[in-house]
Copies of this chain bind each other. A is one copy, B any other.
Amino acid sequence: MKNNDKRTVIMQAALKLIAENGFHGAPMSMIADTAGVGTGTIYCHFKSKDLLIKELFLELRKKIIEVLLEGYSDDKPIRERFLHLSTVLLRHFIEHPLHFRFMEQYFNSPYGVTLRREKFLREPSAELDPFEVLFLQGMTQQVMKDFPLPVHAALAFGPLAALVRDHVLGFVKLDDAMIVKFTESCWDGIKR
């Protein structure tokens, strides 16, 4: 437990510093200070800065997937499912701006490129994420436009990421009504 405590505290510190200052604005020594541990201690838990970042990413992603799947059912209509997923995701990032900022940094960096490349190259048999399943079904049911998956992803996540960024920076204020209208607009983009 003590072990896990330190580990968690280090990840929190890294999350905060990287989200606020970027990878290069978060030296290991600063992460250690913020976490209240010695520099060397980080290396007891993570083999390198790269791996610390990668693990942090995996954890945040895991959390996101959990949130997305909470109360989610494949039985409901495509549109409803899309709106549910989008809304939940949007709310999650609004509530956890540091998570969003970190993920943004991550994807917009060699890490992210590698990740996407791995995803792109994976076996078709590999597990799909809920959005991918949704898009494929949506096209099969002819409810959604016929596009390659990355295009659908772009139409669905692109606006979301852009909007959250503006929100996090304080350029827009998003209330519930706006969130609903916004996700419906995203749906308008992909629906047939």
A22 CB within 8 Å of chain B: yes
**List of B residues within 8 angstroms of A93 by Cβ:** none
Contact of A155 among B109, B120, B147, B185 (CB under 8 A): B185
Known: A145-B185, A189-B188. A162 touches B154 (CB 8 A): yes
**Residue count of chain A within 8 Å CB distance of chain B:** 41
B116 touches A171 (CB 8 A): yes
A182 CB within 8 Å of chain B: yes
- Residues in chain A within 8 A of chain B (CB atoms): 21-22, 24-25, 104-105, 108-110, 113, 116-117, 120, 145, 147-148, 150-151, 153-155, 157-163, 166, 169, 171-172, 178, 181-182, 185-186, 188-191
